Structure 1
């Protein structure tokens, strides 16, 4: 009589590209990228009513601390997942970033469902430009997308320096 074979590990593994939930990916430090993007999107999330200004300020401070602590990526991922899970809308936001092939925030990503359909720009609003990516030049711990030329480039609160344009 033959013994039952154990399932192969390779059939049970999930790759980073297959995972769409934050914290489920096996890729170390992936959520650090999400945290950097989230820091840059907090103002837009406040404007959308997703978080309050006080929540955004506290979250920004927590995210900056976790990114800068230099802990093991797995520990940082665990703490970041806990922060995101405290507010389901943030967890959904992070899942949308992970689901996008270019890892873009939902408010920046083209063909966003909220923007689908006909849209007429208000008078005086110039023609759109593709979003420009800016990051903290010191540590890259804050990433922000400039959606319009009229948007002022913010500073990294952690390092007190203006974000710089990221060129590829």
Structure 2
């Protein structure tokens, strides 16, 4: 084989491998499998009923390593004008408080701990990430992190409609 042909084929092969790997990453990154319903659509609510919903949640610990070492994973439920956090494997909520006693604030984009929300109320001040999808505990997925910011907005809207105070 002529060296000039080999000189052209090697970059072409490397580029092809790169394109295939990139395509696989994009497909995996954009694929979502919903585990929780999130906010119940308004059309499905009884007239005059407050909105409700359920999200996978991670209550993040403090510090740079808080997302891994101090995190508690479970489900956040908003129903009957109450918000509750039920840790994985628990039969009862770790905490349950009336929504009107809660203040919620969406955090900025750059958070080393990964939490999108700050909740304050009788349960204390908590940093929280929510998702309709399975929560990644070991590796991150940037596409999923973007979707989770939308799920955080959804939870904020449900909390506000149930009497929580939204801080900016």
Higher strand share: 2
TM-score of the pair, normalised by structure 1:
0.29
Larger Rg: 2
